[in-house]
């Protein structure tokens, strides 16, 4: 089966504009993100918008060897459907570019677990019941399920956030992929200036871009002063 990682990226984030091209350690967040995903050994497509502001995102993604599709800014589900129609995968992994330290090996194992289940209707994620730090999230589902969501989802939050129609479907089988312990209190995603400051220190002072999940958690365990930098940040709710 052909598996495709699709990641969404745009410059017009409300809480931290231009975040995907902010640099830590002299490298853009998008480059960190795509480099970390390379450990999954899967093809990756960056789904960005048709806005002129996102021309640099498309240019950089292409330079880094990722596929690129461009579509609606707010109807992100349609962007993913565009990627599926253009690249014709059997299986889709959804990630977001605000996870610059995502663990590609964890993503690879998640795909293997989805394939082993042998059910094309299955929705799998490591965040149905969160145990991983926020910022290592991924979802796995069939391309046909994604196209079904695109055809049937009508609510604005379902279009903007891509997968709520899938995981809210009570008849759809679901698989949670937990980590070995609960590290869900840790936040290594990129959405606010505080998040950016933490990521800058993790990369520039601790080479966090070289660490796997266990290494990242151990680093945070050992440095509560770093965890405190963005501990008060509230994650945006669905529909915000």
- Is residue 236 a part of any domain in this protein? no
- Compute the average pLDDT of residues 151-168: 96
Local structure of 138: helix, strand or coil: coil
Write phi, then psi, for 203 (nearest 5 degrees): -80, -50
- Look up tokens 């290494």; give the residue: 215
Q: Does pLDDT of 80 surpass 80? A: yes
Give the separation between CA 26 and CA 108, rounded to whole angstroms. 27
60 domain-assigned:
yes
**Model pLDDT for residues 187-233, shown as the tens digit of each residue:** 999 999 999 999 999 999 999 999 999 999 999 999 999 999 999 99
Number of domains in the chain: 1
Q: Which domain holds residue 23?
A: 3-227
Tell me whether residue 233 is in a domain.
no
The CATH number of residue 213's host domain is 3.90.550.10
Residue 146 falls inside a structural domain: yes
Task: Give the pLDDT score at 240.
Answer: 45
Q: What is the pLDDT of residue 236?
A: 64
At residue 234, the pLDDT reads 84
| Residues 6 or more apart whose Cβ sits within 8 Å of residue 4 | 42, 43, 44, 45, 83, 84, 87, 89, 91, 92, 93, 143
Backbone angles phi, psi at 116, to 5 degrees: -65, -30
Structural domain includes residue 239: no
Residue 49, strand partner residues:
71
Q: What is the pTM of this model?
A: 0.96
Q: What CA dihedral angle connects 53, 150, 1 and 83, to 10 degrees? A: -20
Q: Would you say residue 111 lies in a domain?
A: yes
Position 165 in a domain: yes
CA 2 to CA 176: how far, in whole Å? Answer: 22
């Amino acid at each position: 089966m052909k598996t495709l990682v699709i990641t969404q990226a745009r410059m017009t984030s409300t809480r931290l504009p231009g975040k995907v091209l902010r640099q830590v350690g002299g490298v853009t967040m998008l480059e960190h993100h795509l480099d970390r995903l390379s450990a999954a050994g899967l093809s990756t497509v960056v789904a960005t918008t048709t806005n002129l502001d996102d021309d640099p995102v498309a240019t950089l993604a292409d330079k880094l060897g990722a596929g690129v599709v461009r579509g609606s800014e707010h109807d992100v589900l349609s962007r993913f459907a565009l990627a599926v129609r253009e690249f014709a995968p059997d299986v889709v992994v959804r990630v977001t570019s605000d996870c610059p330290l995502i663990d590609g090996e964890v993503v690879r194992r998640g795909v293997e677990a989805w394939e082993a289940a042998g059910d094309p209707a299955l929705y799998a994620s490591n965040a149905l019941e969160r145990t991983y730090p926020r910022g290592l999230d991924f979802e796995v589902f069939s391309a046909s399920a994604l196209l079904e969501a695109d055809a049937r989802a009508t609510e604005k939050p379902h279009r903007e956030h891509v997968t709520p129609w899938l995981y809210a479907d009570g008849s759809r089988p679901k698989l949670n992929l937990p980590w070995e312990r609960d590290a869900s209190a840790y936040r290594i995603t990129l959405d606010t200036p505080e998040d950016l400051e933490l990521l800058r220190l993790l990369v520039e002072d601790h080479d966090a871009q070289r660490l796997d999940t266990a290494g990242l958690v151990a680093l945070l365990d050992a440095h509560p002063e770093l965890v405190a930098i963005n501990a008060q940040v509230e994650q945006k709710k669905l529909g915000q």
